[in-house]
Amino acid sequence: MGGAASLALPWAAGPHPVGCADVMVGRTRQGLFFRLFYPCQPREGAERPLWIPRYEYCGGLADFVNRSRRWCAPLLSFAFGACRVPVSWNGPFKPGSTRYPLIIFSHGLGAFRTVYSAVCAELASRGLVVAALEHRDHSASATYFCPAEAGEAAAAAEALREEWIPYRRVPPGQKEFHFRNKQDSIDLTKVAVMGHSFGGITAVLATVKEPRFRCAVALDAWMFPLDNALYPEVSKPVLFINTEKFQTPESVAKMKRLSSRNSQTKIITILGSVHQSQTDFTFLTGKFVNRIFSTRGSLDPYKCLDINSRAALAFLQRHLNLNEEFDQWDHLLEGIGDSVAAEAPLCRSSL
């Protein structure tokens, strides 16, 4: 696809309209910040939120790809600044006949809470609530919190003052494994967890730290930060959905080690995809920006989104006991279908 049609996020295909809202819990760095995607009631003329909420994220993305903020941040703002997410901003929540499952989504290095809006909205349109976290451990390209002020006189200033947390590279002289292994601690308590890249391995580790997570979906997980000592502790089923152009033999070996210990853990690969194919960038970049971010493989982005979301839904139905028809996509979990394969073709790549 090309032209304007390729520079917009897709509308979610499920039966529920999708709403979203930003939630900040706690007035310290240790608090939570996330975008919530949920089934909502239809609303005429609903506002659609900006995909990049603040210009500061453009500067953070420039830092992450090691480009000069002077030219890269304005370029990113020009390319993405007007893009809106096709959901209802703060739309009225749609009560369900049963309670909605909750999925916690953990972003990859250098991302932030809106970068996976397409897959999060797709899951919400199928009757799930998705909380897309924005981490405050310097793994996001940028994020912020609004610290509490002392005294009533500062009440008005509280809503205005923000403290920003930039992306942090591995300091010189420190080994990357030990630096990354300490980041991204999650202490959330609902149902299932999902993530991409660094967030993918975070999702796997979250099943160890929080027993109430019943399974994990890891999109092109960067397995490097997984300490060998933690393998015996990962007992919950994991769905690894890999792209064709990212994984290394070492990373796949770690996945296979987990699958050998749990027959419900699955490994599949989406053919013709690259690491950024599982992010919104694949829908929003033309040829010029694609040279910076390498966001597109040969597979149509819409087809890639379908495989990601349908495989995830089939897996979640199986392990969360959902009363839906997502089992119609069970074949994807075995690597059966167009543009999908079992296990993982190998390609050495940098993060």
Which is catalytic among the residues 117, 197, 251, 309? 197
Told to judge if 338 belongs to the known catalytic residues of this protein, a careful annotator would answer: no
Looking at residue 5, its pLDDT comes to 40
Looking at residue 158, its pLDDT comes to 46
pLDDT-based confidence at residue 348 (cuts at 50, 70, 90): very low
Mean pLDDT of 12-25: 93
Looking at residue 89, its pLDDT comes to 96
Separation of alpha carbons 2 and 71, rounded Å: 25
**What does the pLDDT look like over 26-53, one tens digit per residue?**
777 777 889 999 999 998 889 999 999 9
**What does the pLDDT look like over 182-203, one tens digit per residue?**
437 232 334 799 999 988 988 9
Which is catalytic among the residues 63, 184, 220, 306? 220
Q: What pTM was estimated for this model as a whole?
A: 0.83
Q: Is the pLDDT of residue 74 over 50?
A: yes
**Secondary structure, 3-state, the chain:** CCHHHHCCCCCCCCCCCEEEEEEEECCCCCCEEEEEEEEECCCCCCCCCECCCCCHHHHHHHHHCCCCHHHHHHHHHHHHCCCECCCEECCCECCCCCCCCEEEEECCCCCCCCCCHHHHHHHHHCCCEEEEECCCCCCCCEEEECCCCCCHHHHHHHCCCCEEEECCCCCCCCCHHHHHHCCCCCCCCCCEEEEECHHHHHHHHHHHHCCCCCEEEEECCCCCCCCHHHHHHCCCCEEEEEECCCCCHHHHHHHHHHHHHCCCCEEEEECCCCHHHHCCHHHHCCHHHHHHHCCCCCCCHHHHHHHHHHHHHHHHHHHHCCCCCHHHHHHHHCCCCCCEEECCCCCCCCC
The rounded mean pLDDT for the chain is 82
Domain boundaries, given as residue ranges, for the chain:
3-342
Q: Which range (31-45, 95-109, 222-236, 304-318) has the least confidence?
A: 222-236
Mean pLDDT of 204-216: 90
**What does the pLDDT look like over 143-177, one tens digit per residue?**
777 886 544 444 444 455 677 665 565 567 665 44
**What does the pLDDT look like over 242-257, one tens digit per residue?**
998 888 888 888 899 8
66/21: higher pLDDT: 21
Looking at residue 4, its pLDDT comes to 37
Which is catalytic among the residues 135, 196, 275, 319? 275
Give the total residue count for the chain: 351
Looking at residue 245, its pLDDT comes to 83
Looking at residue 148, its pLDDT comes to 67
Give me the CATH topology for the region 3-342.
Rossmann fold (3.40.50)
Told to judge if 275 belongs to the known catalytic residues of this protein, a careful annotator would answer: yes
169-181: b or e for each residue (b if 16 or more CB lie within 10 Å)? eeeeeeeeeeebb
pLDDT-based confidence at residue 179 (cuts at 50, 70, 90): very low
Question: Which residue type occupies 99?
Answer: R
% of the chain residues with pLDDT over 70: 79
**What does the pLDDT look like over 78-135, one tens digit per residue?**
888 899 999 999 999 998 777 888 999 998 877 888 999 999 999 999 999 999 998 8
**What does the pLDDT look like over 328-345, one tens digit per residue?**
999 999 999 999 998 755
Mean pLDDT of 61-85: 87
